[in-house]
Structure 1
Amino acid sequence: MNSPPENPSEADQNPRPERSDAELLTSHINGDPHAFSEIVKRHRDRMWAVALRTLGDPDEAADAVQDAFVSAYRKAESFRGEAAVTTWLHRIVVNACLDRMRRKSVRPVADDELIEAAERDTPMPDHTGEREVSMEVTAALRVLPTDQRAALVLVDMMGYSVEDAAQVLQVPSGTVKSRCARGRAKLAPILSHLRNRSDLSRVSSAKGVELRDG
């Protein structure tokens, strides 16, 4: 006579819940060789998106993300739990991007150049060669000063609240609001040619960059 099937173990019936980011980071600090890799897998795509939109160059973005994760790996013990792990990671990525921009001494386009470009009805050049709206927005962001660009990427493109962006950038919420307002005002004449295009709504919803006057 055949034996009855064995009951599944309690472990099989109740699989171990997925560890939180904070638990993974603690495990990494305590010597778990796989914990940090899991953090990277969870967040690398979003970190890449932040870096690409901030820097506007895939190679520079890849290097910035790599630098940021190496820094996070080495400085994990500096995480104090005062903010979410994702906020901490975003802060490191944004700082890596800003460091690269400062080292390259990227010169923001002056206001009179923006006005001249708007009068010619010429969009800012897309250095990637793409003609999609999202890439036009990314290219336009490159004319902004580093502080305004970082604020707009987090708030308008990545969907962060002003308060969360302030935590990432380590500045007051009012500063984030001010930087976003100034950045939007500078982008408005550059991206005004998108107003009458059918895919403008896609830009507003997917990328969040609002074309506001003034």
Structure 2
Amino acid sequence: MDTDPMSSEPHPSDVELLRAHVAGDPDAFGELFGRHRDRLWAVALRTMGNPEDAADGLQDAMIAAFRRAGSFRGDSAVTTWLHRIVVNACLDRHRAAKVRRVEALPEDVEDRGSLVAAATPADGPEATALDRERRQRVLDALATLPVEQRAALVLVDMEGHSVAEAAEMLGCASGTVKSRCSRGRARLAPLLLDLDATPSAPGPGNPPGPGTVQSPRSPRGPPAS
């Protein structure tokens, strides 16, 4: 169990909550879902492309997780298991509908890995407006990708998961995830060549943060100045 530093009451771990749910505790699953709801919602929203379909996909996933809790073997973290169920539920909905969403992805979710550097209020209203426009362009471009490529990029580039973790969630080989990410970035590159993801180029002294995507570049290198 984990202990809240502001309280002496121990908190059950994710695994303990899942086991309690399987044992019949009526509140355990709700507490588990509540812990991870925001991030699971962000994954569903970015994968599906709009709030309505994301809500349906997340609901499908939570029903599946509720029913399949007894099959959890502990080979991975509970959060990885939940992410895998959410992503697969969203992919199943995409495949069933046989559509490719092209709407702009919503921005009303917590950014866990901004695709472009965010302006701050201190930068002024013009910089803030430009930042919003640039971010929307990236999200619009991401929404044009085939869903399998989008899912891989959401997990690796936006949510900050490793390739191995994303492969486990998507139920495919690490090489497949790498290929989908590579193809997705290549498809984004022509749409975003004029965007600079960070104020200064990443390097040994300025590495990109976890889960932060640099603006896609051409396979031949950065665009000429």
TM-score normalized by the length of structure 2: 0.72
Which residue of structure 2 aligns with residue 181 of structure 1?
Answer: 182
8 Å contact from structure 1 (residues 148, 180) kept in 2: yes
Q: Deviations over 1:157-205 (max 9, x none)?
A: 000011111111121111111111111000111122423xxxx328x76
Which residue of structure 2 aligns with residue 190 of structure 1?
Answer: 191
**1:135 Cα deviation after fit:** 3.5
Q: Deviations over 1:37-90 (max 9, x none)?
A: 111111110001111111111111111111111111111111111111111101
Superposed structure 1 runs of 4+ greater than 6 Å apart: none
Unaligned runs of 5+ in 2: 1-6, 109-131, 200-207, 220-225
Query: SS at the partner of 2:25?
Result: coil
Q: Determine which of 88, 91, 96 is the counterpart of 1:98.
A: 91
Q: Deviations over 1:102-123 (max 9, x none)?
A: 1221248xxxxxxxxxxxxxxx
Q: Please give the alpha-carbon distance, in whole angstroms, between the structure 2 residues aligned to 1:34 and 1:180.
A: 38
Which residue of structure 1 aligns with residue 217 of structure 2?
Answer: 212
Which residue of structure 2 aligns with residue 75 of structure 1?
Answer: 68
**Bigger radius of gyration among the two:** 1
8 Å contact from structure 1 (residues 188, 212) kept in 2: yes
Which residue of structure 2 aligns with residue 141 of structure 1?
Answer: 142
Structure 1 residues 127 and 174 mapped into 2: Cα distance closer, same or farther (>3 Å)?
closer
Q: Determine which of 191, 198, 203 is the counterpart of 1:201.
A: 198
8 Å contact from structure 1 (residues 157, 209) kept in 2: no
Structure 1 residues 159 and 134 mapped into 2: Cα distance closer, same or farther (>3 Å)?
same
Q: Please give the alpha-carbon distance, in whole angstroms, between the structure 2 residues aligned to 1:146 and 1:55.
A: 8
Structure 1 residues 168 and 191 mapped into 2: Cα distance closer, same or farther (>3 Å)?
same
Q: Please give the alpha-carbon distance, in whole angstroms, between the structure 2 residues aligned to 1:125 and 1:36.
A: 33
Q: Please give the alpha-carbon distance, in whole angstroms, between the structure 1 residues aligned to 2:105 and 2:170.
A: 27
Which residue of structure 2 aligns with residue 31 of structure 1?
Answer: 24
**1:143 Cα deviation after fit:** 1.6
Q: Please give the alpha-carbon distance, in whole angstroms, between the structure 1 residues aligned to 2:104 and 2:143.
A: 10
Q: Please give the alpha-carbon distance, in whole angstroms, between the structure 2 residues aligned to 1:125 and 1:189.
A: 18
Structure 1 residues 105 and 209 mapped into 2: Cα distance closer, same or farther (>3 Å)?
farther
Which residue of structure 1 aligns with residue 42 of structure 2?
Answer: 49
RMSD across aligned positions (CA): 2.6
Query: SS at the partner of 1:75?
Result: helix
- Counterpart AA for 2:186: A
8 Å contact from structure 2 (residues 189, 217) kept in 1: yes
Unaligned runs of 5+ in 1: 1-13, 109-123
TM-score normalized by the length of structure 1: 0.76
Percent identity between the aligned chains? 56
